[in-house]
Amino acid sequence: MKGLFIVSGLGILAMLAEIFKVKKVLLPMVLLGILGAYVANFMEWNNSLNIAAFGNMIAFDKVAIAFSGVILATAFFWFIMANDYFENDTNVTDHFALVLFALTGALMLTAFKNMTTLFLGVEIMSIPLYVLAASRKKNLASNEAGFKYLIMGSFASGFLLFGIALIYGATGSFDLMEIRAKISGTAPGMMPMFFYVGVVLLLIAMCFKVSAAPFHFWAPDVYQGSPTVITALMSTVVKTAAFAAILRLFLIGFGGVSELWTVILAGVIALSLVIANFSAAMQTNVKRMLAYSSISHAAFMLMVILANVRSNATLGALLYYSLAYSIGSIAGFAVVYNVTKKGDESFEAFNGLGKRNPFLAACMTIAMLSLAGIPVTAGFFAKYFVFTNMIGTHYKWLLILAVLTSAVGVYYYFKVIIAMYFKPAATEEPVASEMSVNMVILITSAITLVLGLVPGFVVDMFAF
């Protein structure tokens, strides 16, 4: 809870920084603030049960704290990485404030107890991102990305609101626990028809937010058009928050009507796996490829939800996946950001990186191996936990599909590795990278390996 206050306070401070001309200390201040938020967040770990605030609108229980931790850690690395992008920009304070507000929304999404908080969280997180996506004002692609994101995102918000309204109509409450009680108090299938419509609308809205197929059409364009650092933010922090929200919404709120949404979700996952992996394999632009890859990872995370088992293993699996994916992506995007500074975002930009900057190439290899799910990186265990969760359900065909498409996934991740080590570079000119960014890349790569070697300490977090 304190973490949420600190981050929103930081956002306001960042806006004030413009007035007081303290731009120089802005980054250290933000980093310290996030660190503080992280610590404050985990301080609540031991007495986290049953702390509800604002009339039971929001509660930072263990699940919320753990996911907030992932988000804050990712954000910390993200700020260091994005720093030199903002240095070239005059509006650094605005940007920092926007990102911090998006973070606030993300933190709310991990902890909502009430449909209104859910909606507020989604909007607080999304609106700054619309602006950030379009933040390269003179770039056509960036403007297109922002506009597209805004239109599509508004659609999703509309679905979300409509769904909430219908559910309110059927159950008479916005409160998750009350909705749950109402469902379990009614005989199966005896809720009013529009209740089920509401659940489906909510599912669609959330699938929009995590860009699962067939609601993914905005993702490739937005990922490609936005500045790389913003893309990194979207594919890590936003994803984690959205999944924390889905977990809460469907496993707690709508766990009682799972026959309805699991069927739809299974279709969504199957489509996402196939479309994302085959489309990614055909891309020539790295950022577009990563956009499709994020869709495929979304499908994997949705599989954990689909298993619909309310257990510590489920929580552990989703948390671990978010962490592994976020950390791996930050490392990957940081390298992409450095390599594509000249504007070329195709795979050719990576040619000969093994010679031009061996450090970046090695870290990119680790990131790609992790995203592809090769042992002993974090990405492998992430997939492993999904498999163990899924194999007990009767959606075994989905597992087979996941395995088949993962093999396709290796193709496009390895395309990057092959380009780096195997293709001759057009120039021998070394790729420069800043010390601070190097540190981020080094630390995130190291975490990727460490998480793979000792996955226990994340998974066992919920073993109480």
Partner 1 sequence: MLTGLLIVLPLVAGLLVFLVKGNGARTLALGASIAEFILSLVVFMQYKTNPNFNSLSLNCNWIQSLGIHFSVGIDGIGLLLVLLTTFLVPLIILSSFQTQYNKPNAFYGLILIMQMALVGVFTANDGFLFYVFWELALIPIYFICLLWGGDDRARITFKFFVYTLFGSLFMLLGLIYLYNHTAVGGGARSWAIQDLYNAGHSLNVNQQSAVFWMIFVAFAIKMPIFPLHTWQPDTYVTAPTQGTMLLSGIMLKMGTFGVIKWLLPMTPLALEKWGGVAIGLSVFGIVYASCIAIVQKDYKRLIAYSSIAHVGLIAAGILSANQQGIQGAVVQMLGHGVNVVGLFLIADILVRHTGTREIEKLGGIRNMNGQFAVLFLIILLGSVALPLTNGFIGEFLLLNGLYQYSAYMAAFAGLSVILGAVYMLRSYQSIMLGEKPNNAMEFGSLAVSDKVVLIVVCAAVIAFGVYPKPLNDLAEEGTKSIMMLMNK
User: Could you tell me the sign of the dihedral formed by the alpha carbons of 204, 207, 209, 212, in that order?
Assistant: negative
Stretch that binds partner 1, among 18-26, 78-86, 220-228, 379-387 (CB under 8 A): 379-387
Closest CA to 157 of 213, 192, 99, 105: 105
Q: Does 442 bind partner 1 (CB under 8 A)?
A: no
Find the part of the chain contacting partner 1 (CB under 8 A) among 232-240, 278-286, 338-346, 382-390.
Answer: 382-390
Per rule CB under 8 A, is residue 384 in the interface with partner 1?
yes
Of the residues 32, 53, 282, 407, which one makes contact with partner 1 according to CB under 8 A:
407
User: In this complex, which beta carbon is closest to partner 1, that of residue 165 or of residue 374?
Assistant: 374
User: Distance between CA 441 and CA 70 in Å, rounded?
Assistant: 17
Altogether, the residues listed in the chain come to a count of: 464
Question: How many residues belong to the site for partner 1 (CB under 8 A)?
Answer: 28
| Options 137-145, 196-204, 207-215, 417-425: segment touching partner 1 (CB under 8 A) | 417-425
Residue 374 CB, nearest distance to partner 1 (Å)? 6
Output 161 or 376, the one with its CB closest to partner 1. Answer: 376
- Distances from the Cα of 248 to the Cαs of 180, 206, 255, 396, in angstroms? 11, 12, 10, 24
Rounded to a whole number of angstroms, the minimum distance from the CB of residue 440 to partner 1 is 24
Query: How many Å is the Cα radius of gyration of the chain?
Result: 21
Half-sphere exposure of 242 (CA within 13 A, CB side): 28
Q: DSSP letters along 283-327, please?
A: -SBHHHHHHHHHHHHHHHHHHHHHH---SHHHHHHHHHHHHHHHH
Q: Which is nearer to partner 1, 54 or 422 (CB)?
A: 422
Phi-psi region of 431 (alpha: psi -120 to 50; beta: other; left: phi over 0): beta
Would strands 52-53 and 58-59 be described as parallel, antiparallel, or unpaired? antiparallel
For position 403 contacting partner 1 by CB under 8 A, the verdict is: yes
Which of 10, 66, 410, 441 forms a contact with partner 1 (CB under 8 A)?
Answer: 410
Q: What is the DSSP string of 18-37?
A: HHHT-GGGHHHHHHHHHHHH
Contacting range for partner 1; rule: CB under 8 A; set: 3-11, 155-163, 186-194, 383-391: 383-391
User: Is 91 among the residues that bind partner 1 (CB under 8 A)?
Assistant: no
Q: Does 421 bind partner 1 (CB under 8 A)?
A: yes
Q: Does 450 bind partner 1 (CB under 8 A)?
A: no
Query: For residues 346 and 406, which CB has a smaller minimum distance to partner 1 in the complex?
Result: 406
Under 8 Å CB-to-CB from 281, ≥6 apart: which residues?
Answer: 408, 411, 412
In the complex with partner 1, the residue whose CB is nearer, 219 or 459, is 459
Please tell me what DSSP assigns to residue 403: H
Q: Taking CB under 8 A as the rule, does residue 399 contact partner 1? A: yes
- How far apart are the C-alpha atoms of 457 and 316, rounded to whole Å? 10
369 binds partner 1 (CB under 8 A): yes
Burial annotation 176-188 (CB, 10 A radius, 16+ → b, else e):
bebbbebbeebee
Q: How far is the CB of 375 from partner 1 (least distance, A)?
A: 5
Site for partner 1 contains 53 (CB under 8 A): no
Contact 359, 435 (CB under 8 A): no
CB of 376 to partner 1, least distance (A): 6
- Of 219 and 369, the one with the shorter C-beta distance to partner 1 is 369
- Nearer Cβ to partner 1, position 257 or 366? 366
455 binds partner 1 (CB under 8 A): yes
CA separation for the pair 306, 263 (Å, rounded): 9
Among the listed ranges 32-40, 166-174, 239-247, 455-463, the one in contact with partner 1 (CB under 8 A) is 455-463
Q: How many other C-beta atoms are found inside a 10 Å radius of the C-beta of residue 44?
A: 18
C-alpha–C-alpha distance, residues 292 and 407, integer Å: 15
Return the residues of window 63-82 that contact partner 1 according to CB under 8 A: none
Position 391 contacts partner 1 (CB under 8 A): yes
Q: Which of 39, 411, 429, 430 binds partner 1 (CB under 8 A)?
A: 411
Residue 204 found at the interface with partner 1 (CB under 8 A): no
| Rounded least distance, CB 423 to partner 1, Å | 8
Q: What whole-number distance in Å separates Cα of residue 458 and Cα of residue 73? A: 14
* Contact status: 282 vs partner 1 (CB under 8 A): no
Binding site for partner 1 (CB under 8 A): 369, 374-376, 380, 384, 387-388, 391-392, 399-400, 403-404, 406-407, 410-411, 414, 418, 421-422, 454-456, 459-460, 463
